[in-house]
Amino acid sequence: MAKVFDRLTNLRAGTTDRYEVSKLALIIAGSLAVLLGSTILQVSFGAYPFTLVEAWQTVFDPAVLSSLEVWRWAFLGAAVPEWLTRQQLIVWNLRLPRILVGVLVGANLAVSGALFQIITRNELASPYILGVSDGAGLVVLLTLTLLSGLVPFLPILAAAGGGLAFLLVYAIAWKNGTSPVRLVLAGVVVGTVFGSVQRALFFFIDDLGVAMSAQAWLSGTLMNAGWAEVRIALPFTVLAMALAFAVTQELDVLALGEDRADSLGMPVEKVRFAIAGIGVLSTAAAIAVAGLIGFVGLIVPHMVRNLVGSDSKLLLAGCLFLGPALLVSADVGARLALSPVQLPVGVITGIVGGPYFLYLMRKKTDLGEV
């Protein structure tokens, strides 16, 4: 009798799992559809327009896709294959890598946002909550104003600045261990100081072009994204994603609160620092190639959690797909809406993100608790 009952409960447990997995499948399918649509739009339109059919045919051109030379050029930085037509070059050299960078950046921001929301136990946390954006922003301004010789290394420097600021935040928050609240407050401290210095530095810029490029960095843009950026971001993204998915069990336990995690035998401080480290690695990879794109890392985990719940594996998987879909489609708007003027994609994500939060505020009463 008990066995029958057990089997029944197992069966029912199986169905809920399937129900949530099916919602995840919906997110993935929807994201892929949006991504494909955005890709076709992004490839077709611009200064050199194609028809949608031409765009489709060039992206999925078997001659290009099956050429080893093309892949070596794209991912290993080899010479551009000479046999590519002008049309193929525009698609493959300009428009596709931008989409690919968007995919990587979107995945990084969404997944790291989910990580930071869990470790700070705050639904309104973003990848930038522990000072990463302020450190990166300050370094960008310093480089552009005072150390202009180092501009070619800007991506790496920005990522390193973000990492350093994160360590500083941790050091400030540490007092016989940390807590989510201490970490967030330390993030505010570092952010305030760095932000002020960064704004002060703007007054030392006398060249409009430098000011524009600083502003583009701070709002986040995919304007200059090419294969070089793909090569910078790809290895770190793959590493960060692999690590993030390796710690889903730890995330699940950490989401129960420090006390409970500790009772379950988790070394909370070490695990939290390690997870924050993974988040920072992921965020830094995004910052290095796209600057400080806001809201994606905040909204996407939120949307996914509303659909699949807070099971970390499902949450991260959802973020991995929805992040790219949101960022790439926003970039379509950034590039084409006011053509020929291109907006930083961070402006679009902000314009989309604000109303989404308004909607959430109206809909949910317990906003702010994980």
Partner 1 sequence: MADGRPSQMDGETVEHGSEAGTRAVDSASETTSESAAEIDGTDLVVGYSGRDEPVIDGESIAVPPDEVTALIGPNGSGKSTLLKAMADKISPDDGTVFVDGQTIDEFGSKELARKLGLLSQENVVPTGISVGDLVERGRYPHTGFFESPSDEDRAAVDDAIQLAGIENLRDRDVDSLSGGQKQLVWIAMAIAQDTDVLLLDEPTTFLDPQHQLEVMQIVETLRDESQITVVLVLHDIAQAARYADNIVALKDGSMYARGPPEEVVTKQLLADVFEIEAAVLETEYGLQVIPIDPVTDAQAAHTTVGPVPEDVPDTDREP
For residues 150, 112, 323 and 48, what is the CA-based torsion angle, rounded to 10 degrees? 10
Per-position x/- string for 145-184, each x denoting binding to partner 1 as judged by CB under 8 A, each - no binding: ----------------------------------------
- Check residue 363 for interaction with partner 1 (CB under 8 A): no
- Check residue 368 for interaction with partner 1 (CB under 8 A): no
**Residue partners of 140: CB distance under 8 A and separation at least 6:** 154, 157, 158, 161, 214, 217, 218, 291
Residue nearer to partner 1 on the CB measure, 15 or 192: 15
- Binding part of the chain for partner 1, among 31-39, 95-103, 138-146, 264-272 by CB under 8 A, reads 264-272
- Check residue 22 for interaction with partner 1 (CB under 8 A): no
- Binding part of the chain for partner 1, among 6-14, 136-144, 229-237, 335-343 by CB under 8 A, reads 6-14
By CB under 8 A, the count of residues binding partner 1 is 33
Per-position x/- string for 69-108, each x denoting binding to partner 1 as judged by CB under 8 A, each - no binding: ----------------------------------------
- Check residue 259 for interaction with partner 1 (CB under 8 A): yes
- Check residue 269 for interaction with partner 1 (CB under 8 A): no
Residue nearer to partner 1 on the CB measure, 111 or 168: 111
- Check residue 302 for interaction with partner 1 (CB under 8 A): no
Q: Please state the closest distance from residue 259 (CB atom) to partner 1, in A.
A: 6
Q: How many CB atoms lie within 10 A of CB 303?
A: 18
Q: Please state the closest distance from residue 236 (CB atom) to partner 1, in A.
A: 22
Q: State the Cα–Cα distance between residues 125 and 162, nearest whole angstrom.
A: 16
- Binding part of the chain for partner 1, among 13-21, 82-90, 184-192, 235-243 by CB under 8 A, reads 13-21
- Check residue 308 for interaction with partner 1 (CB under 8 A): yes
Looking at the chain, how many residues does it have?
370
Under a CB-based contact definition with an 8 Å cutoff, are residues 220 and 345 in contact? yes
- Check residue 242 for interaction with partner 1 (CB under 8 A): no
- Check residue 339 for interaction with partner 1 (CB under 8 A): no
Binding interface with partner 1 (CB under 8 A): 2-3, 5-6, 9-10, 12-13, 15-16, 121, 246, 249, 252-253, 255-257, 259-260, 262-267, 305, 308-311, 369-370
